[in-house]
Structure 1
């Protein structure tokens, strides 16, 4: 059966642990070699009919020549994944096991959602359309990054390569929003959230340097205790909630399809935002992140021995900067929240929010209409992508950069991104392939 073969190909690629790391000396590159070899074997028509280049070592660029090259499109994804061990998983993260039957059947594994699912679904769609004899009207580029989870250098190099060749895509579609239910109060229909911009991704480091000594004679406030106080203060002080034009558009779109009090608030957002923002922020972590810059302490480091006071204590803070704000704003907020001049706030990496893509015109309408065709009854709305994607590197060459993964995901499934038990319904994956097939036929 065709569906069984497609799932088998997906399983084969999920089983290859293409884990990217900040320290590239720790990357097991043989797995990336194996992945590229498997792609050639599993998708022979793609490799026979499309031009292929390898950029920055392992990122892939395919070009499918169309009848014209004046308005090319880019379909993107990344095939690297974050690390995972068997601990706590119901099914091993790189076993790609199936469970359940019929519409309840699930495929488990690291990368099912983030982001091998999209990459392999795109390749399945291209392979099928080549076999059907399709020639696209415009050139189509496939760009698959190999280090999105670490630094995105591969995608950056690809974008620079396309720019050097004068290629300015009319449409760029990368991972991002999905089709969700129950995410918005008062909305009963499925909602496809399409990222038209994304928050800036910035890394700060809190540093305390202090006199060390023997742990048997500690000072009243050691470096680690001082750092802990700074973290607690920071955690207590969220960035202020705000509303930007993209979120206004999202609320208005949802308002047309909402009922009750929340529907009234959505539809009249210009007048009701002071009431809506605190209510929306309490709906959950995802909703809260949509209306403010967020901060999360993700790494701690201190000390060299169990009986020695740490002379340096550091905390890494991951900051996702809201549209309309800046890196400088974030540094000021963190500094004021900590209220301790002995804590140095260092900017490790700085990433401003991305430009806002058009929410009108051919590219947007193509994405919207394809969603509505493949997923009838779904509400399509622009939104601000909370996480960073490789597509941020393409905003300099295209006004039509959108972030949408065509998968129906429950709240529980979305919470497995970068966590244990990542999984997707098999039927969801197969419908994703149909989305890309329909989109490709219209490009």
Structure 2
């Protein structure tokens, strides 16, 4: 989609340059969350919260604000009625980053013109301050115009989504205790993308109607240490390496869910070439489609199976010492239709070694599936189509984990969509170096939220 295409007309004026400037200012505050919260610089989080008050004075005059779990933010914009409220979500913590390897420093928020379009570079542009700022820009412009929503609007901004998500969990606890059941929840997730589905040239907006479960599986080997000059044939690290290899080589089988089939059918109707017939009759061709999805890309492979990724390793404390304990952390994303227990059983059967201890931390089951019919879904779809004309909207199962998984306790209509265009290269910068967002798509994200709010 042309980033310079004329943006659809909306009823609320917005100073684009000022919106970009405010975004840059908030990106420059390094709100890096860490699993060990004693290592977190909470002063930066306090600065961010204070900056929101400075940048969005009209919103902070009209909306009620609560601090939850220390640094998470819950706003309530009173509507004509408190019934059937909407929750717009984002998080303002970011994964750690240093200047090493970045073309532009991660917390400089530089505005760069590469000759095609202007982009803002920085940690958090896509994940997830971009959505947070877009929400606040939409709210501020509408509050300043005197708009009042028909139903209450809540803004839920988590402070530790990148680690434990306990801030969002505490917000849900609070809303649940008050008997609040949202009619619509929108959080980060899918985006407007191209080139992800064979034969489809039009932009595709993938909207998460569910998300995979997530857990950490720990593989631990304990045995006697000693000097590295006289090693046994099977050291703790060798045994651990064998276990890792077995897990990695024994992939989980591909299985299609109803959401997978709906996505394939939706996109297949817009595809061309010999695969169109197969896509339109996906249930009858599930076996060859499973093989196809496994080969197309890492993304499509992950759509149809539980995945494992070894992310952390530890061994001896010295280069010349045998480790008394070797440990690996396996990040597991559990597919719809499976469970934490079934996943653990598969991994145990793959390892086949009683000397490798297998345990889990922070288990989360796959979330419930939100419907793709009805007023909530229609509003999301219509808002996307109005903001990005010519885009195909499809449901999908989100591969990552988000704070919205907690909201499935209190709402049946939880959708995961970041209203931005993201190229393959840009998606590759999530949790990596050189994260950036186009200015044009950031501004259209604001329009998306304006449309959602106006309809609520």
Q: What band does the TM-score fall into relative to the shorter chain?
A: over 0.9
Q: The residue matched to 1:350 in structure 2 has which SS?
A: strand
Q: The residue matched to 2:51 in structure 1 has which SS?
A: helix
TM-score (norm 1): 0.99
Matched, 1:44 2:61: no
1:152 corresponds to: 165
Matched, 1:384 2:381: no
Alignment of 1:342-357 (within 5 A): 342-357=355-370
Gaps in structure 1 of 5+ consecutive residues: none
Gaps in structure 2 of 5+ consecutive residues: 1-13
Q: CA deviation at 1:266?
A: 1.3
2:37 to 18, 21, 24: 24
2:441 corresponds to: 428
2:138 to 125, 146, 153: 125
Distance 1:59 1:15 in 2: 19
1:72 corresponds to: 85
Are the equivalent residues in 2 in contact too, given 1:282–1:288 (CA < 8 A)? yes
Distance 2:103 2:33 in 1: 23
Are the equivalent residues in 2 in contact too, given 1:73–1:169 (CA < 8 A)? yes
Q: Deviations over 1:12-49 (max 9, x none)?
A: 00000000111000000000010011100000011001
**Regions of 4+ moved over 4 Å:** none
2:11 corresponds to: none
1:363 corresponds to: 376
Q: CA deviation at 1:211?
A: 1.1
Q: The residue matched to 1:188 in structure 2 has which SS?
A: coil
Root-mean-square deviation (Å): 1.0
Q: CA deviation at 1:103?
A: 5.3
Are the equivalent residues in 2 in contact too, given 1:103–1:427 (CA < 8 A)? no
Alignment of 1:90-105 (within 5 A): 90-100=103-113, 104-105=117-118
1:203 corresponds to: 216
Distance 1:9 1:437 in 2: 18
Q: What count of residue pairs does the alignment treat as equivalent?
A: 443
Alignment of 1:214-233 (within 5 A): 214-233=227-246
Alignment of 1:327-338 (within 5 A): 327-338=340-351
Q: Bigger CA drift: 233-242 or 407-416?
A: 233-242
Distance 2:416 2:151 in 1: 21
1:395 corresponds to: 408
Q: The residue matched to 1:376 in structure 2 has which SS?
A: coil
Matched, 1:285 2:295: no
1:264 corresponds to: 277
Q: The residue matched to 2:289 in structure 1 has which SS?
A: helix
Seen in structure 2, the aligned counterparts of structure 1 residues 161 and 64 have a Cα distance that, compared at 3 Å, is same
Q: The residue matched to 1:380 in structure 2 has which SS?
A: strand
Distance 2:52 2:238 in 1: 51
Q: CA deviation at 1:262?
A: 2.4
2:320 corresponds to: 307
Q: Bigger CA drift: 343-352 or 198-207?
A: 343-352
Distance 2:294 2:278 in 1: 14
2:22 corresponds to: 9
Q: CA deviation at 1:339?
A: 2.2
Q: Deviations over 1:98-128 (max 9, x none)?
A: 1116751111000000000000000000000
Distance 1:34 1:276 in 2: 50
Matched, 1:373 2:378: no
1:193 corresponds to: 206
Distance 1:67 1:243 in 2: 43
Distance 1:396 1:425 in 2: 35
Q: CA deviation at 1:231?
A: 1.1
Distance 1:213 1:235 in 2: 29
Q: CA deviation at 1:228?
A: 1.0
Q: Deviations over 1:147-202 (max 9, x none)?
A: 00010000000001001001000000000000000011111111100000000011
Matched, 1:167 2:180: yes
Distance 1:192 1:247 in 2: 15
Distance 2:302 2:114 in 1: 35
Distance 2:130 2:279 in 1: 33
Q: The residue matched to 1:196 in structure 2 has which SS?
A: strand
Q: The residue matched to 2:267 in structure 1 has which SS?
A: helix
